[in-house]
Chains A and B, each alone.
Chain A
């Protein structure tokens, strides 16, 4: 219980680190602030792993016996861990307490966030070296992490909402870290407004939930969810799910994530692996009982499935390594929602865990590629495999994990999701398989072009439709493409801290998957097992899925290799298709041109009302006052005699009023 009792330090430490860095930033010279933040995170990661170990010991132990799950030992007393302080209590009533609630899922995700964030911090020390506002960057990272950890540990949804909003703010600040760039400004606004719009759903859902159940408490909500009427539970669940869609960049609110790449690469890693997008999945996981009661899981599954396929299909059209990674995140999160929607709660959380590590690895790897080659365009990268061996190896591990090749982490978790889907929704299983093929395709394409081809002229920059950026609603000329690196630029390997972070994450991407695999008795899934849902698939049934998944992945790799190893520049798709894909199917433009316009109609109506009704009334009051004043100012003649006359008239009035006798 030591770590559980200390667990409040887990969000508190990075918050204190944030305060230190933001207040005393200029005192941290050189890389000191980076090391300071990283050490803070190391401490947090230590505490988080200790907490996870304690949770593993204290959690109920389940056992797989012949395909059935049975309880081996109940939970130790005091589990789930709960820390509570009174807060917001009004006149002695209970109010909303500041609660930390750590069950199996929270402990797991806390450990995941802490560890991923630690390596992102470590990587950033080298990556951000020499940038302006170096301490500020780490301060933001610290608060971002603190908010995510608070969100995960929050014992009631009100605290969760607060942390959620802080995360929204931090993503805004970090995406716009290079705030002098027009594109960064537009991107930060886009991200903030999109997620903010979705957050309304969270708030409305929460308030509705409070009205129905009278509590925000996470455990109580989970217990009482069955008491909700089906339409009510459905409404609440879907409102909250809208927030998750926004935060986790699911279709149709995925638009902000691509442009979030305007931030520094470690920020992208942070958003995509450890914090922001994971929060949406986590929230949906927490609202799972409500969604289940509302019979709304089908929507979750379909949103996830559509997003997974949609993003995987768009990714191969892109040339920017970070944007390809961003599509990949959207797609992988789609898998998680797909898993959640088909009752694969534990499978989705398993994928959340593995994805956090391999996506952090891939993003940091692409950061290393960008750092070494001075470009983000995969076509312009010059045979990185030759110059950056460490990056090449670790990126390959991440890519294989993403594609889902055994025995890497993504394989176990993604195939588990697909296996669950096959039982409950075969159509979604098929969609997931197609998406898996495209995942293998775009990952291989990126890998081959970036690491094995010499520097090429970028077809992305050559395309006429990419000269301006309608997806950010900027004018032409406000978003010039990054200059290509000099032709004789020799890529170089990144520094030691960055390599260490990459290797550590690569190792995690390799081994974390085993935890949930049948090779180790699916112990992670049993650890997360909530007690009733039929979601643990016995190992014997998994084998078929593994074979199909591996074959699909290998097919994707083979096709991409075959197409791009020889002639990466050849235009194979029709031009209109390429254009449509590169313009993201015009969804962003549709939002800017149509949705934003329509959203302004009530505003414009109110503007008219304001101009022609409210203003007129206000002006009338002003004019009346002014005219009265103009008239009355002649009373103030400034002449002494006139004032005396007023006095006399007043006295006269008194005389006549008092002279009632006559």
Chain B
């Protein structure tokens, strides 16, 4: 039988993969895609927990829904900023964003 543990394991591994992407990618688009993976991993964990443990209120699934909404919003803004960056610097590499270097 599939237990909650299986889903959470999948979620954790997916999260780890996404995190690795966020940390190592230099292309901002790739970073944003990795962030999407992170968000989906979290959504899976929420939805699975709700499905197994919360028959009455299924709050986790609602949470997953909201995560999708937030992800969409985040991505659209992220891409808009990226576009501006691209126009400004001619590149979408994180290397060009170094204004905050101390």
> Is there any pair of Cβ atoms, one from A and one from B, under 8 angstroms apart in the complex?
yes
Q: When the two chains form their complex, are residues B19 and A648 in contact, meaning their CB atoms are under 8 A apart? A: yes
Q: When the two chains form their complex, are residues A641 and B94 in contact, meaning their CB atoms are under 8 A apart? A: yes
Number of interface residues of A (CB under 8 A): 13
Q: When the two chains form their complex, are residues B19 and A638 in contact, meaning their CB atoms are under 8 A apart? A: no
Q: How far is the CA of A648 from the CA of B24 in the complex (A)?
A: 12
Residues of the A chain whose Cβ atoms lie less than 8 Å from the Cβ of B95: 639
Residues of the A chain whose Cβ atoms lie less than 8 Å from the Cβ of B22: 641, 644, 648
Q: Please, what's the 1-or-0 string for A602-641, where 1 marks a CB less than 8 Å from any CB in chain B?
A: 0000000000000000000000000000001111111111
Q: Quick one: given A640-B94, A641-B94, are A634 and B26 in contact (CB under 8 Å)?
A: no
Q: Is B100 an interface residue (CB 8 A)?
A: yes
Contact residue among B23, B94, B101 (Cβ-Cβ distance under 8 Å from A645): B23
Contact residue among B19, B99, B102 (Cβ-Cβ distance under 8 Å from A633): B102
Residues of the B chain whose Cβ atoms lie less than 8 Å from the Cβ of A637: 101-102
Q: Which of B27-71 contact A (CB under 8 A)?
A: 28, 31
Q: When the two chains form their complex, are residues A641 and B101 in contact, meaning their CB atoms are under 8 A apart? A: no
Q: How far is the CA of A634 from the CA of B23 in the complex (A)?
A: 18
Q: When the two chains form their complex, are residues B97 and A638 in contact, meaning their CB atoms are under 8 A apart? A: yes
Q: How far is the CA of A637 from the CA of B99 in the complex (A)?
A: 9
Interface of A is mostly: helix
Residues of the B chain whose Cβ atoms lie less than 8 Å from the Cβ of A636: 100-102
Residues of the B chain whose Cβ atoms lie less than 8 Å from the Cβ of A648: 19, 22-23
Q: How far is the CA of A641 from the CA of B99 in the complex (A)?
A: 14
Q: When the two chains form their complex, are residues A635 and B23 in contact, meaning their CB atoms are under 8 A apart? A: no
Q: How far is the CA of A156 from the CA of B75 in the complex (A)?
A: 79
How far in angstroms is the closest Cβ of chain B from A6? 74
Residues of the A chain whose Cβ atoms lie less than 8 Å from the Cβ of B99: 638
Residues of the B chain whose Cβ atoms lie less than 8 Å from the Cβ of A644: 22-23, 31
> How big is chain B's contact interface, by range?
10 to 19
Q: How far is the CA of A638 from the CA of B22 in the complex (A)?
A: 16
Kindly report which residue of chain A lies nearest to residue B22, judged by CB atoms.
Answer: A644
Q: Which of B22, B25, B28 has its CB near the most chain A CB atoms (within 10 A)? A: B22
Residues of the A chain whose Cβ atoms lie less than 8 Å from the Cβ of B102: 632-638
Q: How far is the CA of A248 from the CA of B21 in the complex (A)?
A: 90
Q: Quick one: given A632-B102, A633-B102, A634-B102, are A640 and B19 in contact (CB under 8 Å)?
A: no
Residues of the A chain whose Cβ atoms lie less than 8 Å from the Cβ of B31: 640-641, 644
Residues of the A chain whose Cβ atoms lie less than 8 Å from the Cβ of B28: 640
Residues of the B chain whose Cβ atoms lie less than 8 Å from the Cβ of A635: 102
Kindly report which residue of chain A lies nearest to residue B25, judged by CB atoms.
Answer: A641
Kindly report which residue of chain A lies nearest to residue B100, judged by CB atoms.
Answer: A638
Q: When the two chains form their complex, are residues B26 and A638 in contact, meaning their CB atoms are under 8 A apart? A: no
Q: Which of B28, B95, B97, B101 has its CB near the most chain A CB atoms (within 10 A)? A: B101
Contact residue among A633, A639, A645 (Cβ-Cβ distance under 8 Å from B98): A639
How far in angstroms is the closest Cβ of chain B from A60? 86
Q: How far is the CA of A644 from the CA of B28 in the complex (A)?
A: 12
Q: How far is the CA of A18 from the CA of B22 in the complex (A)?
A: 77
Residues of the B chain whose Cβ atoms lie less than 8 Å from the Cβ of A638: 97-102
Q: Please, what's the 1-or-0 string for B73-102, where 1 marks a CB less than 8 Å from any CB in chain A?
A: 000000000000000000000110111111
Kindly report which residue of chain A lies nearest to residue B101, judged by CB atoms.
Answer: A638
Q: How far is the CA of A256 from the CA of B7 in the complex (A)?
A: 98
Q: How far is the CA of A639 from the CA of B102 in the complex (A)?
A: 11
Kindly report which residue of chain B lies nearest to residue A634, judged by CB atoms.
Answer: B102
Residues of the B chain whose Cβ atoms lie less than 8 Å from the Cβ of A632: 102
Q: How far is the CA of A641 from the CA of B95 in the complex (A)?
A: 10
Residues of the A chain whose Cβ atoms lie less than 8 Å from the Cβ of B98: 638-639
Taking Cβ atoms with an 8 Å cutoff, the residues of B that contact A are: 19, 22-26, 28, 31, 94-95, 97-102
Q: Could you write out 20 A-B pairs with CB less than 8 Å apart?
A: A632-B102, A634-B102, A636-B100, A636-B101, A638-B97, A638-B98, A638-B99, A638-B100, A638-B101, A638-B102, A639-B95, A639-B98, A640-B28, A640-B31, A641-B23, A641-B25, A641-B94, A644-B22, A648-B19, A648-B22
If A638-B102, A645-B23 are given as contacts, then 10 extra A-B residue pairs at C-beta distance below 8 Å, sorted by A number, are: A636-B101, A638-B97, A638-B98, A639-B94, A639-B101, A640-B31, A640-B97, A641-B94, A644-B23, A648-B23
